[in-house]
Amino acid sequence: MSFFNTNNTATSSSTVADKDIEVADAPTDSISSLAFSPTADYLAVGSWSNEVRIYEVGQSGQTQGKAAYSHEQPVLSVCWNKEGTRLFSGGADKAGRMFDVTTGQAQQVAQHDAPVKCVKWIDSPSGGILATGSWDKTVKYWDLRTPNPVSTVQLPERCYTMDVVYPLMVVGTAERHIQMYNLANPTTPYRVIESPLKWQTRVVSCFPAANGFAVGSIEGRVAIQYVEEKDTSQNFSFKCHRKDGGTKDSTLVFSVNDISFHQQHGTFSTAGADGTINFWDKDSRTRLKTFDPAPGPITATAFNRTGSIYAYAVSYDWSKGHSGMVANHPNKVMLHACKEEEVKKRAKVAK
């Protein structure tokens, strides 16, 4: 099913060589979440327009709207199941919803007492489970065959961010709490730490190897953290998404809004409220690429399943509240064709 004129596609890469391509018919309000299907080049986009849209991305970067469904309030998170047949979303309407790609039908599958900030699919050996993290200070696990959660985990504070690479799940909450879970025992935290960063946690993202995670804060810093205490010597943090303030000793500091890992190479991107994106290699501790600044904050990012396409959203990030949402603020999703040298790890320099 198509929700737009099928002839309305983005400019193909043949006419804009090496330039990032804008997705046709972007949502009409701020974009909160991006997720590529694990089995095909379908991109899900959640937004403050209360809607989830699914786009098909062609080989030359052209896009076509394929389906859409709605929440009653802003959509805050989207994710796919392993097979790419179902799409899940969480919203400010306190609901988790599922869209069946094969039937085109959407239904509510989860409920919280406050907005659902994060949805993540857990592909466990015993079957798929949906995890939902909420501002009601809980994570709930849902078996889609039953209407009630199979278990509920109490968090120390509101869930702000969550990521899963089986068997690791990491939850970042208000007041800088970070909880790590071994999903073989999903109801009890494996380790609990305070964020190594001094300011509010904005995003956590698990390593593809599931042995650690990156955490980004509102203060333009990222920390690389390993799960096991024996590996803590490899932990480090670094500054990013900062600008010279123009006067002596002044620095403009921006939030790190999203972190995405490249599944094949283990390198990662950081995206900031300053409108910039960087690609990094954590093992050699080097920056691989810096994008030209966008005309607004980068709110969400995602690599496709092969790591050849990188999607990023340019829109208002609500960091300045309602008053910051000015007229004509850019609102778009861009696609970047990744070159090997941008995402491949650098050789370690022998000491």
Into how many domains does the chain fold? 1
Instruction: Supply angle C-alpha 320, 322, 327, rounded to 5.
Output: 100
pLDDT at 7: 39
In a domain, 7, yes or no: no
Cβ-based neighbours of 42, under 8 Å, separated by 6 or more: 36, 54, 55, 56, 57, 66, 84, 101
Measured from the Cβ of residue 240, the count of other Cβ atoms closer than 10 Å reads: 20
- Assign 3-state DSSP to the chain and report helix, strand, coil percentages, each to 5: 5, 50, 45
pLDDT tens sequence across 109-160: 999 999 999 999 999 888 899 999 999 999 999 999 999 999 999 999 999 9
In a domain, 207, yes or no: yes
pLDDT tens sequence across 211-252: 999 999 999 999 999 999 999 999 999 999 988 877 777 788
In a domain, 61, yes or no: yes
Query: Does residue 15 register a pLDDT over 50?
Result: no
Measured from the Cβ of residue 89, the count of other Cβ atoms closer than 10 Å reads: 29
Range of the domain at 260: 21-342
CA dist 168 → 96, 111, 129 (Å) = 22, 24, 14
In a domain, 164, yes or no: yes
Tell me, what CATH number does 261's domain have? 2.130.10.10
pLDDT at 263: 95
Beta 138-142 vs 332-337: how paired, if at all? unpaired
Q: How confident is the model at residue 350 (pLDDT cuts 50, 70, 90)?
A: low
In a domain, 180, yes or no: yes
In a domain, 14, yes or no: no
Burial class of residue 203 (count of CB atoms within 10 Å of its CB; 0-12, 13-18, 19+)? buried
In a domain, 351, yes or no: no
pLDDT tens sequence across 195-213: 999 999 999 999 999 999 9
pLDDT at 326: 60
In a domain, 11, yes or no: no
pLDDT at 27: 94
How many Å apart are CA 48 and CA 34, to the nearest integer? 13
pLDDT at 4: 40
How many Å apart are CA 84 and CA 195, to the nearest integer? 33
